[in-house]
Structure 1
Amino acid sequence: MKFKAFNDSIFGALMRSPWWISAVIALVFIVGAIAGLPKEYWAVGVFGAVPFLVIAVLAGWRQARAPSASRVDAVAAAVAAMPWPAFASAVQAGFERDGCQVERLDGGGADFALNKGGHVALVSARRWKAARTGVEPLRELQAVRERLGAREAVYIALGDISPSAQAYAGKHGISFMAAPALAKLLRGLKG
């Protein structure tokens, strides 16, 4: 589950940072509490380190499960060389392995409808090889999303995403699946 409300907080920033940064902050809390507080209040001061220890463990767990940079590069190169039918089959298999019911959509805007636990997400993947993504394909995805009443929208892109496309996506709650997330989705792909 993603906690989108905390993405702009210190805790969201620490979740995206290396795990050891949170561990160092927790250590500073602990040392500061022991050095600066009377002995009977150490526990209260040390308790302030608990959120940072939890974040260190969660961030470390996520980072240990993430594909390596070389694996991300290998998968990106492999999928960039694929034709659409092979790529679509690989993406569909990845989503199905993650527990989604996948329906292929014909027409513009969205290529897949994912259903998991009654929640529908639309995925646009056909332009995954584009060197730069602009606003227009996101508008098409958003139009299909509104028409079908989907909860989420995901755009798969290996190339750069223009600032205007990023702004549009942020305004409409469209998320991007770039090479690292694609490598995780296609974890069985030989790179």
Structure 2
Amino acid sequence: MAENSVFAILLRSSWWISVVVGAIIVVLCLALLPKDIRFVGAAGSLPFLVIGAMAAKRQWNQPSASATEALLAQAAAMSSRDLQAWLTRAWQAEGYTVSPLQQSSADLQLARNGQTTWVQTKRSKAGVHGIEPLRALHDAASKADAASVYVLLQGDLSDNARVFARDKKIVLLQNLELATLLKKAPIAV
């Protein structure tokens, strides 16, 4: 699906928007079309209702905007060791086996279903992330046959780093995705 198609945009939006669009189509078809084709026209709302259901399923366990802000603020206030422990519990709740790595470019190794993922958390509080840490992480993970690479971010990527991450398929864990993951594990006191 094209990134800026109507359905892709609706899939990224709140679920209820697609449902409202579908309902408007149904109401307009029932009100304006001749009796013999009303229901056929109303069937045109089905893609919007399906997209609404898909978006609702995706958004079901996501934290609200205020909860996202609170989770990210808690994460930002933690030491990198405490944040790493919180992330470890969250990934374990998702069924990953998490082990520390003694690498300069990655901190954690996740394993599940024969797939390996390397995670970098130590630069999570940097304001701007450049291309060099991403390149080092990608090179090290590639040598270790890591199936995917995550980089934990609470700052912004430089333009070159964003292009590199996209080209090398480095998954950037930040904002809502990060808060959704952190929500899966309670904070240890």
Q: TM-score range, shorter-chain basis?
A: 0.7 to 0.9
Amino acid at match of 1:176: L
Q: Identify the residue that residue 155 of structure 1 maps to in structure 2.
A: 151
Runs of 4+ in structure 1 over 6 Å off: none
Q: Please tell me whether the aligned partners of residues 130 and 157 of structure 2 are also in contact (alpha carbons under 8 angstroms).
A: yes
- How far does the alpha carbon of each residue in 1:104-146 deviate from its partner, in whole angstroms, 9 at most, with x for none? 2111222222222222222111111111111111111111221
CA drift at 1:190: 7.3
Q: Distance between the aligned counterparts of 2:179 and 2:188, measured in 1?
A: 10
Uncovered stretches (5+) of structure 2, i.e. residues with no partner: none
Q: Distance between the aligned counterparts of 2:106 and 2:25, measured in 1?
A: 48
Amino acid at match of 1:182: L
CA drift at 1:99: 0.8
Alignment of 1:49-60 (within 5 A): 49-60=45-56
- The number of residue pairs the alignment matches comes to 187
Q: Distance between the aligned counterparts of 1:6 and 1:95, measured in 2?
A: 30
Uncovered stretches (5+) of structure 1, i.e. residues with no partner: none
CA drift at 1:98: 0.9
Q: What is the CA RMSD across the aligned residues, in angstroms?
A: 2.2
The yes-or-no answer on 1:117 pairing with 2:121 is no
Q: Please tell me whether the aligned partners of residues 75 and 179 of structure 1 are also in contact (alpha carbons under 8 angstroms).
A: no
The yes-or-no answer on 1:146 pairing with 2:142 is yes
CA drift at 1:24: 2.5
**TM-score, normalised to structure 1's length?**
0.86
Q: Percent identity?
A: 34
The yes-or-no answer on 1:184 pairing with 2:180 is yes
Q: Please tell me whether the aligned partners of residues 134 and 161 of structure 2 are also in contact (alpha carbons under 8 angstroms).
A: yes
